[in-house]
Amino acid sequence: MKVGFIGLGNMGAPMAANLAKAGHQVTGFDLAAPCPEGVTPAASAAEAARGQDVVITMLPNGAILRAVAAEVLAVMEAGAVLLDCSTVDVESARAVAAEAEAAGKMAVDAPVSGGVGGAAAGTLTFMAGGSEAAFDKVRPLFDVMGQKAVHCGALGAGQAAKICNNMILGVTMIATCEAFALADKLGLDRGKMFDVVSTSSGYSWTMNAYCPAPGIGPKSPADNDYKPGFAAELMLKDLRLAQQAAEAADADTPMGQRAAELYAAFVEQEDGRGMDFSAMLPRFEKRGRA
């Protein structure tokens, strides 16, 4: 397929490179980052999008997505697909998709899970919203860039799935870190706690697969001085998106709201920026009861 790829940062670059390695014709554009090997550079987003079967965007926020979409939709071929893999607010995702359909193009919102490592390894999970026809057209690209793609429903459903998933993740990580800090103060060995919790009702992904305690369970960022696999500021972004969506939908999400407040303090007032989101554990270790 002929693919335009706009946004070649830490996630976009390896995704575009994997598509090129698989034999797709990839043209890329980024305001700052260079094109990875195998990707033909373009001078603008419009140039990268012109004449392509699929245009993929991997961008920081909804405002930038809207601006880029306005530029590329004007030059995309009728029937081409705008495939947005950014994590943005649901409103922006739906607005851009509506603009695409009004212009005679197809759209899919498909944020990803799996981080930079998953992008490099081609093992991302895609949560996709859009028509069956649009999803089927881009499925071969999902097969290259990831290990799983779930068609979640209509346009915007991909973003909804992503922010709901990551709200659970943020809340669960905080609870896991709190529990380890409490166990320490009660004199409970961390290894023994892991052995109990990981095989009982406290089982969770944050405990069993991404344990925030160094030297406990499978290897995780905690074993690398909390260098980010998923940065705390990205978790804060997703939690804020979840709260924005909850406000728009009139949904009561007190745990999600409190998680957003705690990550905001960690990132913006403490030393959490540039750390993995599991670095909440050393934060709680240092704190007494308020």
Catalytic pick among 105, 162, 237, 286:
162
162 annotated active-site:
yes
Q: How many Å apart are CA 226 and CA 176, to the nearest integer?
A: 15
Active site members: 162
